[in-house]
Amino acid sequence: MRILVTGGAGFIGSAYVRRLLHRTPAPSAPAAGPLEVTVLDALTYAGRRDNLTGLLGDPRLTFVEGDIGDAALVRRLLPGHDHLVHFAAESHVDRSIEDAGAFVRTNVLGTQVLLDAAVRAGTAVFVQVSTDEVYGSIAEGAWTEDQPLAPNSPYAASKAAADLLALAHHRTHGLDVRVTRCPNNYGPRQYPEKIIPLFVSRLLAGRTVPLYGEGAQIREWLHVDDHCLGVDLARTKGRPGRVYHLGGGTELSNRELTLRLLAACGAPEDRITLVPDRKGHDHRYALDWTRSRTELGYRPVHAFPQGLAATVEWYRGHPGWREQGAGDRRSQDRRSSDRRSLEPQSLERQSSEQQSFDRQSSEGQSSERRAWDRRSSEPRSSEREPSERRSWDRLSAEQQSLDPRSGEPEEPEAQQEDSPRPGRTDSP
């Protein structure tokens, strides 16, 4: 079984990869042979190799740095993979309000590239990971999967468009698409622009926290590992063309959540600073997850009080990570333009990594080739290496036939300095 995971270096994607490599498949899961996982990630501001610490040396894992919007790369990479699990997305609502273009490029056009490549490659299962925000806002009750989509933010609209494209490829081309929608996630390794890591980082640094309006907006909170459990159940037990809600978290107002974070960090209530509300701020989201419970056997296992306490302790024990969120959002945005500066590492390590990068650049290797070379240096069985080398050679041969620039010198990817590349990040 070969699985391609897009956005696998982000918060949720890396948790899913960790689950795949560390967990034994459920007894009910179909036997599919040895597991191999490929991560495709552009390593934008919220995607980091550090999220895969302890996994990159696993011979079952291949890491490819690349953009899901790069059609030639995706067409070369996807053949030979049985399943595709699509986490890669721009996901922060505030950023979508400031600049919707990156969200359309990644969440809509990037998804379209993946879907077209999956049809071409005959991919057996395509899992589209989505969000409860596609439905808009609900005053009471909970949405079922049949609820019409009515997104209110540019982020939610881009995810709704991606969901509809995915389902259209199922109906038009017969691609086995399964869509999952979840509430807000929390847990370790979340980039500190989202409320829990941002507030924890600032509180532990002795700073105030900015709460929108009066903090009356209501959200459901689901541990990232419970979300990944549901995604994998949809992948292995779901039905083609179905949408699955992965709910079952804890519903809290933003103010209630903030008070819990204050208590966990030992901070007084006067650390709260009320700020003007977000434009078009949805009041409440809620998912009915009966279908996932009955069809998939999905049930979350993390109790919120214990899960939140463990999450706060993780950030407490990772000060380098917290420093990204301890300042104000504007300075955070300025710092995010250089993703290398966000990684907590020594100057010695930075120097050695820069030397490594310079050597790779001078050799003119593509990112995919570098990923293969890194894997080739890792210990593995002598039986696997020849088959993997043949697989890489086939990919290289396909590159010549699929890339209209073949035969010409490869040019480096253009990159805007004032905006991140279409990205891998994170979570609903």
The active-site residue, picked from 65, 70, 90, 132, is 132
Q: Considering 155, 191, 285, 298, which one is annotated as catalytic?
A: 155
CA atoms of 393 and 399, how far apart (whole Å): 10
90 has catalytic annotation: no
Supply 179's token pair: 């869509």
Backbone phi, then psi, for 205, in 5-degree steps?
A: -90, 5
User: How far from 194 is each of 186, 189, 200, 403, 407, CA to CA, in Å?
Assistant: 9, 11, 10, 38, 45
Selected catalytic residue, list 133, 163, 282, 426: 133
Asked about 133 being catalytic, the answer comes back as yes
What is the gyration radius of the CA atoms in the chain, in angstroms? 21
Q: What backbone torsions phi and psi does residue 285 show, to the nearest 5 degrees?
A: -120, 150
Per-position b or e across 75-111, b if 16+ CB within 10 A of its CB: bbbbeebebbbbbbbbbbbebbeeebebbbbbbbbbb
Q: Does residue 411 have an active-site annotation?
A: no
Token pair recorded at residue 29: 């899961």
Burial of 293 (0-12, 13-18, 19+ CB in 10 A): middle
> In angstroms, rounded to a whole number, what is the distance separating the alpha carbons of residues 265 and 101?
37
Please give the single-letter amino acid code of residue 31. A
Q: Decide if 370 contacts 360 (C-beta within 8 A).
A: yes
Give Cα separations from 11 to 50, 55, 82, 85, 203 (angstroms). 11, 14, 23, 14, 21
Cα–Cα dist 208/386, whole Å: 57
- Which two three-digit tokens encode residue 341? 């500066």
- DSSP string of 126-167? EEEEEEGGGG---SSS-B-TTSPP---SHHHHHHHHHHHHHH
Residues noted as catalytic: 132-133, 155
